[in-house]
Structure 1
Amino acid sequence: MYDTGKNSDEFGMDKGGSEADAGGETFAPVARFRRSLQRSMKLYLSVSRLVLGQSLGQHRWLAATGLAGALSFALLGAGVSALVAPYSDVETAALTADQAPQIVALDADGPVERVTLGAEAPTEEAPAQTASNEPTAAETAGIATSSAHTELAAPVAPAEPKEIQTKVAINDGETLMQVLTDAGADRVDAYHAIAAMKPHFSPSKMRAGQEVSLTFLTNPTAEKDEPAKLLTSISLQPDIERAIQVNRAEDGSYRTQEFQKELKSGFAHAKGAINSSLFLDAQQAGIPAPIILEMIRMFSYSVDFQREIHPGDTFEVFFDRKYDEDGIPVKEGQIAYASLTVDGKPYRLWRFKTADGDWDYYDENGNSMKKFLMKTPVDGARISSGFGMRKHPILGFTKFHEGVDFAAPKGTPIYAAGDGVVKIAGWVNGYGNFVELSHANRYETAYGHMSAFAKGIHPGIRVHQGQVIGYVGSTGRSTGPHLHYEIHIAGKKVNPLGVKMATGEKLGGKQLAAFKATRANVGSQMAETPLMTRVAQASETPKAN
């Protein structure tokens, strides 16, 4: 009943068959699987015959069936293991091959070679080197690969510091510290730079619109707590005759240099006719605004610019000025001579320095231009209401107007009509912001509806003729910006336009002789100076003193 274990050709494989007979080395795993399966099946049949042959009852039959099932599952697991075992290392090898870095060496004269790092060298021996020292293809590929690797691994050069220059303007209400920090300067650097500047120029004197040139040096290696930019210099020009420069030293401190500009002195000569107003027509002739305003002030003691100026009247002015190295006028000086012909009557004035060191303007006879009081204490105004009875624009009924109203834009400066002492400076009903001045000979002047008082104006302070005491406004009972101007003589209000003012100082003796010499010298200089035009004024040739 037992299987004797004789050879069987049941599965088509002799016991003595070799792996080579089964298909050669190429199919060795398959042959091993078949032999294992053959042995397992033989064992299964033998055990089945033994169990089934000796079955005496139902219980033994069931036990035999269970044992056969268990053996079947074991046989299936053994078969699968035998089938998979030969390929257990294939996945690892494939993954290793895919992840191995590969270098492609390009040879202009040969095919592309692919070199895999970590791969085993071929078993065949490399051909012997020729006698010549020419590199082989593999060596060439190695050189190319090494060169490519060197280029990829080259370090990046660190960034170099760069110089950055910028120009900023001071805004109204801004400080120099704000300007520097907003431009990117470190606050500590800005503080030390300003401290170094103060002995030469106070930053508090900087005005709105003034430009400041800044230079920075980038700091590419800055640490977390270090500034990205270093403030290296500050340059500004407080006025046209000097410049300030603050530079950063190697030790990180700041030092200031002051440069004085050499300006050439010269003269300018202009004349023209009045068609609309002295201010507009003088501008058309190329005269700078400060000179025009000074002319108005000079003649305001003798001429009423609101009522007495007519088309066809003429003007002339001769003044000194400063020129830069390119011959461009950069600063206006003082008027040496000015004339105004009104309705055929000439008014001529020359500038002269008296023995006490004061400057003033005098006519051809040595009489000072100044009168006791100015006729019009505000520039560029027109008379909007005269002295006398009128219908009040707000109250609506006829009322005596005790002064003269000069209409002018809000903020126009108001001048003291003469030397005196401030009696009132404050709010007065109807007049709004109000100033009253006491003068000699029991004269008083009053100024109403001001928008604001000039700095330092308060009761008890002494003022000089022509000094700004306030600004045109519309405070109190007023329908628009204007100056209400009054003159009181011994407490009585009089018409400001009808008061005859006494003249000022009159030169005599040596003073008069010195004045006449100055007048002749000015006449010679005027003859040598060509008339300027608006186009040519910037290219005039400066004259030496």
Structure 2
Amino acid sequence: MGYRGRWGTATTAVAALTLGMGALAIGSLVSPQTRTDVSESVGEASVRVVTTMPLLAAQPETPEPVEAETESASLFSNPFAEEVAEPVSAAPLSFGAAYSFVTESIRRTATETVSVGRGDTLMGLLTESGAARADAHRAIAAMTPLQDPRKVRAGQELELAFEEYVTETEEGDSEISRRLTTVSMKTDVDRHVTVSRTDEGDYAGMEVIAELETGHVQARGTINSSLFLAAADAGIPAAITVEMIRMYSYDIDFQREIRQGDTFEVFFTREYDEDGTPVREGDVLYASMNVRGKERRLWRHEPSDGGNWDYFDEQGRSMRKFLMKTPIDGARISSSFGNRRHPILGYTRLHAGTDFAAPSGTPIYAAGSGTIEMAQRNGSFGNYVRIRHANGYQTAYAHMRGYGRGIRKGVRVRQGQVIGYVGTTGRSTGPHLHYEVIHNGNKVNPQRIRVPTGRTLSGQQLAAFQEARTSINTMMAEAPSMTQMAEAELTSDADETSSQ
């Protein structure tokens, strides 16, 4: 047979072989084989073909290469080229492997961090991120026993995870769909709440509490302008400074008595995460204030007879007084108790209280524990609160911008609780607190009254306090001082500068 006739027969055979190989590839997905024989009758020729497909994953053993068998005078020989036998690796492809090959490349887990904005809701954040509304609802329901979803705060971050996969639309197009798998949020420095999708399609919540290490910090400083600035220069956090002010607010008038050169010292606990990073301030264990040459030292102690913890001096006397000397922080006395020319009415009359000038919105504290007798508008006093205390005492607070949460007539309040905020309602020339103390129906000078003191320890309770005080003093002696460390850094920097 000539080349032309032979080549025509070969072309017909190749077409048939192509169809056969396609069928063989599909068949290999269903029934994997390492070697497949296909017989086709093409004229008088019998052709045997070896088919292979690459493996998707590494196999423990690589099969031996199989060489394709050749025939020297086959109908499929190319008359214009040399016939070369090429080795072919046998690698079967099962249906499961083929399915994974197709689907794994289009299924993935996507993670993202969402920041809570002002006015955002958890449902809105989840659905806007691509979660189905039904999934978001079930995830929130699983979270609720652990964390109130209504209490998410602006600036808080949510860690979200989705399973993404390809689906086909009704029009036959492909699109990426998302399924919510995880919602996680940090609710405190040591607490995470996580909600995860289960195999059954439901959601389950989990709370994780990290163990923090507790350390001790000691700092001291000298007041040059204000206690807040001096404390900040000494590395003392604002929360600890506020606690110091409250500790001594029963005995020291921070608006009138503090002078330049007065000193202070504080010893408090601090919590650290696993990386040693400070994450939260703890309790003040000891503090000292030296004001105008008089030193006042206080130690934290909780009596074992069921009494509440308090700060006590060397003799076991509580620092807590019946009434606070100043029911507001960071204010100055703008007008004292006594006769004065009224700034609005223009004539002299008794000013039956103390005025504290402060920015509008400054918190006002209950000077002592008691019951709210009045919380309403009261003529020239504007927004007004009056509290009834024990021993015939009452305190009154006027010109407030607004009331504290839950403050109303008949409510019991504790000493130091926020009852309102500085304002300028009523007959007022500017934002300030007008504060009055009433004893047995008579208005008295809040700055000069002698009120009952708190508890004084005795007997076994005093002995236990003295033992606790010694323990705190020992810890202070062993703890590094923030002030000393700051001075050491300054000295080191100065040495380096002088050596250059």
The answer on 1:218 being equivalent to 2:167 is: no
The answer on 1:411 being equivalent to 2:361 is: yes
User: In the aligned structure 1, how far is the partner of 2:357 from the partner of 2:261?
Assistant: 24
Contact 1:378 1:414 in 2 (8 A): yes
Contact 2:167 2:176 in 1 (8 A): no
- How far the C-alpha of 1:239 sits from its partner, in A, is 1.5
- How far the C-alpha of 1:318 sits from its partner, in A, is 0.7
**In the alignment, residue 332 of structure 1 is paired with which amino acid?**
E
Unaligned runs of 5+ in 2: 1-72, 82-101, 487-500
Report which stretch shifted further, 158-167 or 204-213.
Answer: 158-167
- How far the C-alpha of 1:534 sits from its partner, in A, is 11
- How far the C-alpha of 1:278 sits from its partner, in A, is 1.0
Would the alpha carbon gap of residues 472 and 222 (structure 1) be closer, same or farther in structure 2, given more than 3 Å must change?
Answer: farther
User: In the aligned structure 2, how far is the partner of 1:420 from the partner of 1:486?
Assistant: 15
User: In the aligned structure 1, how far is the partner of 2:225 from the partner of 2:325?
Assistant: 21
The answer on 1:339 being equivalent to 2:288 is: yes
Contact 1:377 1:416 in 2 (8 A): yes
**In the alignment, residue 249 of structure 1 is paired with which amino acid?**
T
Q: 1:428 aligns with which of 359, 378, 382?
A: 378
Would the alpha carbon gap of residues 250 and 313 (structure 1) be closer, same or farther in structure 2, given more than 3 Å must change?
Answer: same
User: In the aligned structure 1, how far is the partner of 2:226 from the partner of 2:318?
Assistant: 25
Q: 2:196 aligns with which of 220, 235, 247?
A: 247
Q: Deviations over 1:508-542 (max 9, x none)?
A: 11011001001000000000100125998xxxxxx
User: In the aligned structure 1, how far is the partner of 2:192 from the partner of 2:385?
Assistant: 41
**In the alignment, residue 523 of structure 1 is paired with which amino acid?**
N
**In the alignment, residue 469 of structure 2 is paired with which amino acid?**
R
User: In the aligned structure 2, how far is the partner of 1:131 from the partner of 1:447?
Assistant: 111
User: In the aligned structure 2, how far is the partner of 1:219 from the partner of 1:360?
Assistant: 60
Contact 1:320 1:336 in 2 (8 A): yes
| Alignment correspondent of 1:269 | 218
Q: Deviations over 1:196-219 (max 9, x none)?
A: 112222212333322211122333
Tell me the TM-score normalised to structure 2 length.
Answer: 0.73
- How far the C-alpha of 1:473 sits from its partner, in A, is 1.6
Unaligned runs of 5+ in 1: 1-128, 138-156, 537-545
The answer on 1:293 being equivalent to 2:242 is: yes
Give the 5 Å matches for 1:110-259. 133-136=77-80, 160-221=106-167, 223=169, 228-259=177-208
Q: 2:448 aligns with which of 493, 498, 503?
A: 498
Tell me the secondary structure at the aligned position of residue 158 of structure 2.
Answer: strand
| Alignment correspondent of 2:252 | 303
Would the alpha carbon gap of residues 130 and 193 (structure 1) be closer, same or farther in structure 2, given more than 3 Å must change?
Answer: closer
The answer on 1:475 being equivalent to 2:421 is: no
User: In the aligned structure 2, how far is the partner of 1:130 from the partner of 1:510?
Assistant: 113
The answer on 1:328 being equivalent to 2:274 is: no
Tell me the secondary structure at the aligned position of residue 441 of structure 1.
Answer: coil
Tell me the secondary structure at the aligned position of residue 440 of structure 1.
Answer: coil
| Alignment correspondent of 2:414 | 464
Tell me the secondary structure at the aligned position of residue 219 of structure 1.
Answer: strand
Tell me the TM-score normalised to structure 1 length.
Answer: 0.67
**In the alignment, residue 234 of structure 2 is paired with which amino acid?**
A
Larger proportion of strand: 2
Would the alpha carbon gap of residues 131 and 476 (structure 1) be closer, same or farther in structure 2, given more than 3 Å must change?
Answer: closer
User: In the aligned structure 1, how far is the partner of 2:76 from the partner of 2:180?
Assistant: 65
Contact 1:286 1:534 in 2 (8 A): no
Tell me the secondary structure at the aligned position of residue 364 of structure 1.
Answer: coil
Contact 2:220 2:234 in 1 (8 A): yes
The answer on 1:511 being equivalent to 2:432 is: no
| Alignment correspondent of 2:393 | 443
| Alignment correspondent of 2:482 | 532
The answer on 1:279 being equivalent to 2:222 is: no
Q: Deviations over 1:394-447 (max 9, x none)?
A: 334444322111112222221111122211111101111100111222111100
User: In the aligned structure 2, how far is the partner of 1:530 from the partner of 1:200?
Assistant: 39
User: In the aligned structure 2, how far is the partner of 1:434 from the partner of 1:535?
Assistant: 48
- How far the C-alpha of 1:367 sits from its partner, in A, is 0.7
Q: Deviations over 1:29-53 (max 9, x none)?
A: xxxxxxxxxxxxxxxxxxxxxxxxx
| Alignment correspondent of 1:401 | 351
**In the alignment, residue 202 of structure 1 is paired with which amino acid?**
D
**In the alignment, residue 408 of structure 1 is paired with which amino acid?**
A
CA RMSD across the alignment:
2.7
Would the alpha carbon gap of residues 231 and 394 (structure 1) be closer, same or farther in structure 2, given more than 3 Å must change?
Answer: farther
**In the alignment, residue 106 of structure 2 is paired with which amino acid?**
E
User: In the aligned structure 1, how far is the partner of 2:346 from the partner of 2:131?
Assistant: 63
Q: 2:315 aligns with which of 347, 353, 365?
A: 365
Would the alpha carbon gap of residues 229 and 498 (structure 1) be closer, same or farther in structure 2, given more than 3 Å must change?
Answer: same
Tell me the secondary structure at the aligned position of residue 482 of structure 2.
Answer: coil
Would the alpha carbon gap of residues 459 and 133 (structure 1) be closer, same or farther in structure 2, given more than 3 Å must change?
Answer: closer
Q: Deviations over 1:258-317 (max 9, x none)?
A: 222111111111111111111221122111211111110000000000000011111111
Tell me the secondary structure at the aligned position of residue 405 of structure 1.
Answer: strand
**In the alignment, residue 477 of structure 1 is paired with which amino acid?**
R
- How far the C-alpha of 1:134 sits from its partner, in A, is 4.3
Contact 2:130 2:178 in 1 (8 A): yes
In terms of Rg, which structure is larger?
1
- How far the C-alpha of 1:222 sits from its partner, in A, is 5.4
Contact 2:166 2:176 in 1 (8 A): no
Report which stretch shifted further, 461-470 or 356-365.
Answer: 461-470
User: In the aligned structure 2, how far is the partner of 1:534 from the partner of 1:393?
Assistant: 50
Give the 5 Å matches for 1:71-86. none
Aligned residues: 391
Contact 2:221 2:483 in 1 (8 A): no
| Alignment correspondent of 1:389 | 339
Would the alpha carbon gap of residues 500 and 130 (structure 1) be closer, same or farther in structure 2, given more than 3 Å must change?
Answer: closer
| Alignment correspondent of 1:31 | none
- How far the C-alpha of 1:243 sits from its partner, in A, is 1.1
Would the alpha carbon gap of residues 534 and 523 (structure 1) be closer, same or farther in structure 2, given more than 3 Å must change?
Answer: closer
Would the alpha carbon gap of residues 161 and 442 (structure 1) be closer, same or farther in structure 2, given more than 3 Å must change?
Answer: same
